[in-house]
Amino acid sequence: MIEVVNINKSFDGNDVLKDISAIFKKGNTNLIIGQSGSGKTVFLKSLVGLHEVDSGEILYDGRNFNRMSRKEKKLIRQEIGMLFQGSALFDSLTVEENVRFPLDMFTEMSLRDRRDRANFCLKRVNLENVNHLYPSEISGGMQKRVAIARAIALNPKYLFCDEPNSGLDPRTSIVIDELIQEITKEYNITTIINTHDMNSVLGIGEHIIFIYQGEKYWEGSNKEILKSTNKELNDFIFASKFFKKIKEDGGFV
């Protein structure tokens, strides 16, 4: 479980995150949604320590991340897996080497065991016979799956995904969403996903937080989101003509 208590973050006097508190439960797919520029990525990067928050607390199963020593932070980082918007695979390494990378760096396993573990993770994300290929030689959807395989290589307790569907076609997006949800349940991970994809919201949003101009405006689940009366949230959800039309036709009621 990750608990966020009253975190604030500003850049050059601009308040990007304003007093946000939330609880992200284990085994749940927690979604952070909001418009571009609302502060979602800053929020996610603050949770993993890429940005230092100005005030507030971030608790990983009760352990206060902000008060940890560098050594403690280093240890907790090995419990974190992260999937980036652009996959962020290492260009100079093959698919297998990318997945093996955290194992090479942090375990004393033999090369054979590390290769077995990498192959297991690749198989888990439904990728086979691509071990020797470089990231530039595989599709965007495959790159995302390799990034997921790398993120789960060390059996993380916490998984962070920054817009995992960006740049993917709707069908591949669903595959990636379902994969993340399956892995979350299977390994009982605390998963936090940043997205503005409404298909993801409705498909896997067990717990959703809506951020608007750096503030938490709404919290609920995919069962509740379409019935919300929050104006900003409705403006966000029904921005597309497709969703607007369905709402007008009473499809969601």
Partner 1 sequence: MRVLFHFGRYAIFLKRVFGKPQKHKIFLNQIIREMDALGLSSVGIVAIISFFMGAVITLQTAYNVEMPLIPRYTIGLAARDSILLEFSSTIVSLILAGKVGSHIASEIGTMRVTEQIDVLDIMGINSASFLVLPKVVALVVLNPFLVLMSMGIGIFGGWMAGSVTGEVPSAEFIYGIQYAFIPFYVTYSLIKAVVFAFLITTISGYWGYYTTGGSLEVGRSSTKAVVVSSVQILLFNLILTQLLLA
Chain-centroid distance, C-alpha 91: 22
Q: With binding defined as CB under 8 A, does residue 84 bind partner 1? A: yes
CB of residue 155 to partner 1, shortest distance in Å: 14
- Contact flags string 88-127 toward partner 1, x per CB under 8 A: xxxx----------x-xxx---------------------
Question: Minimum distance from CB of 89 to partner 1 (Å)?
Answer: 8
- The contacts of residue 199 (CB under 8 Å, 6+ apart) are 165, 170, 173, 174, 177
Ranges within 29-48 binding partner 1 (CB under 8 A)? 45, 48
**Options 61, 67, 86, 221; binder of partner 1; rule CB under 8 A:** 86
What angle, rounded to 10 degrees, do the helices at 140-152 and 95-106 form?
Answer: 20
By C-beta, is 106 or 187 nearer to partner 1? 106
Does residue 82 touch partner 1 according to CB under 8 A?
yes
- Tally the C-alpha atoms within 13 A of residue 170's C-alpha that lie toward its C-beta: 3
End-to-end CA distance of the chain: 33
Quickly count: other Cβ atoms within 10 Å of residue 116's Cβ.
Answer: 12
| Identified binder of partner 1 from the candidate list 10, 18, 26, 49, rule CB under 8 A | 49
- In the complex, the smallest distance separating the C-beta of residue 18 from partner 1, rounded to whole angstroms, is 24
According to the binding rule CB under 8 A, does residue 176 interact with partner 1? Answer: no
Cβ 48 to partner 1, closest distance in Å?
Answer: 5
Contacts of 41 (CB under 8 A, 6+ apart): 85, 162, 163, 194
Which position among 8, 85, 119, 230 is part of the footprint of partner 1 (CB under 8 A)? Answer: 85
Tell whether residue 68 is a contact of partner 1 (CB under 8 A). no
Quote the radius of gyration of the chain (alpha carbons, Å): 19
Phi and psi based region of residue 148 (left: phi greater than 0; alpha: psi -120 to 50; beta: remaining):
alpha
Nearest to partner 1 of 76, 95 (CB atom): 76
CB of 143 to partner 1, least distance (A): 11
Phi, psi values for residue 79, rounded to 5°: -95, 0
Total of chain residues touching partner 1, rule CB under 8 A: 23
- CA 104 to chain CA mean position, Å: 24
Q: Which residues bind partner 1 (CB under 8 A)?
A: 45, 48-50, 73-78, 80, 82, 84-86, 88-91, 102, 104-106
